[in-house]
Amino acid sequence: MEQPCLWCGKPDKTISDWLIYPTEKGEVPQGEDNHVACCRSCRAVRAGKSVAGWMADCRESSRSADPQIVYGLLKELDDNHKTDRTGVELRQMRRMLDLQFNAATKRLSKLGKMFDRYGSNCVWCGLALSPRHLESSYEHVIPQSRQGSNHHHNLLPACIDCNNRRSNKSPANWLAILLKEGQQPRIDLVWCSLIASTGPEHGVRMHKRATTYLDEMELLFTNSELMIGQPYLPDLRKPRPPVAAPRKTVKPAKSRRRRARK
């Protein structure tokens, strides 16, 4: 019977695998609650690793294992049996989740606000995201290596895979790659983000970079056949709004301290 693998999510003729493997440090429950659906390839690669260690490997190898679901299975297993081994595995998993999520409260808050503003799907591939999912990330439309800031105008929701693949490519170049792959990215959100980044609240360098990227995207819209049939195109019939002059930050002069006379 084909079931989705807990670790990679691929439907396959799954075999039953241990959630917690037996080791020399302690026996584990032998019941059905310690068995999960797993494909042969994931079972071979895991090779007896702890749950927390295997979840870290799943993230590095882009497996779709949801840590919240795995944590719930571990919690249920520990509640049912209360062995030393289940307690150790549960503490390791909780520590991994704390490092990934609870410790980064500022990141969670930023992701939550961004999802409320732009939706909870990756702007490049459309993958559904959530603030506490390992795949969730935010994309700098103007890369940080090219004078992009952490202002909310420059941040859009994206999955880690697309974020890493894009690297510091310009929006027009990256969109052209995605369109050739048959994707339907949110071009309208990228366009609006770049227009907002030319506002007066941003610096001169970011202002110039956003204007350059807008010109490249306009050239892509007019000269590329890949745009035909795309559902998320901005309305080019409306003229681009006038670009506001950025504010130049002036550093205050340092006051020289005078030595007190004796």
Q: Output the pLDDT for position 174.
A: 95
Domain contains 185: yes
Domain contains 252: no
Q: Which residue has the tokens 């999955």?
A: 159
**Quick one: tokens of 156?**
């859009």
| 114, 198, 220, 238 from 243: Cα distances, Å | 24, 6, 20, 14
Please give the Cα distance from 220 to 222 (Å, whole number). Answer: 6
Give yes or no for residue 260 having a pLDDT over 60.
Answer: no
Query: Measured at the alpha carbon of residue 124, what is the angle toward residues 42 and 159, in degrees to the nearest 5?
Result: 40
Higher pLDDT, 102 or 61: 61
Asked if residue 63 and residue 14 are part of one domain, the reply reads yes
The model's pTM: 0.58
| 119, 154, 192, 238 from 235: Cα distances, Å | 20, 20, 11, 6
**8 A C-beta contact, residue 70 and residue 6:** yes
Q: Which of 185-189, 196-200, 245-249 has the lowest mean pLDDT?
A: 245-249
Asked if residue 212 and residue 170 are part of one domain, the reply reads yes
Percent of the chain scoring above 90 in pLDDT: 23
Asked if residue 190 and residue 129 are part of one domain, the reply reads yes
Asked if residue 92 and residue 39 are part of one domain, the reply reads yes
Asked if residue 66 and residue 54 are part of one domain, the reply reads yes
Q: How many domains does the chain have?
A: 2
Asked if residue 153 and residue 42 are part of one domain, the reply reads no
Contacts of 167 (CB under 8 A, 6+ apart): 143
Give yes or no for residue 212 having a pLDDT over 50.
Answer: yes
Choosing from 102, 134, 152, the residue where a domain stops is: 102
**8 A C-beta contact, residue 170 and residue 142:** no
pLDDT interval class at 262 (50, 70, 90)? very low
pLDDT interval class at 122 (50, 70, 90)? very high
**Quick one: tokens of 49?**
């690793």
Task: Give pLDDT tens digits for 218-247.
Answer: 888 887 788 888 888 887 767 777 766 666
Asked if residue 222 and residue 120 are part of one domain, the reply reads yes
pLDDT interval class at 25 (50, 70, 90)? low
Choosing from 35, 69, 102, the residue where a domain stops is: 102
DSSP 102: I
Domain contains 245: no
Please give the Cα distance from 28 to 48 (Å, whole number). Answer: 13
pLDDT interval class at 1 (50, 70, 90)? low
Domain contains 154: yes
Domain contains 260: no
Domain contains 256: no
Asked if residue 177 and residue 115 are part of one domain, the reply reads yes
Choosing from 75, 102, 129, the residue where a domain stops is: 102
Bridge partners of residue 4, in order along the sequence: 11
DSSP 101: I
Asked if residue 110 and residue 66 are part of one domain, the reply reads no
Asked if residue 125 and residue 62 are part of one domain, the reply reads no
Q: Which residue has the tokens 């002059």?
A: 245
Asked if residue 60 and residue 136 are part of one domain, the reply reads no
Domain contains 29: yes
Asked if residue 116 and residue 28 are part of one domain, the reply reads no
**8 A C-beta contact, residue 137 and residue 159:** yes
**Stretch 34-62: mean pLDDT, rounded?**
86
**8 A C-beta contact, residue 220 and residue 176:** yes
Higher pLDDT, 238 or 25: 238
**Quick one: tokens of 184?**
């339907």
pLDDT interval class at 13 (50, 70, 90)? confident
Domain contains 258: no
Domain that holds residue 18: 2-102
Task: Determine which helix (DSSP H) or strand (DSSP E) holds 105, and give its type and residue range.
Answer: helix 105-118
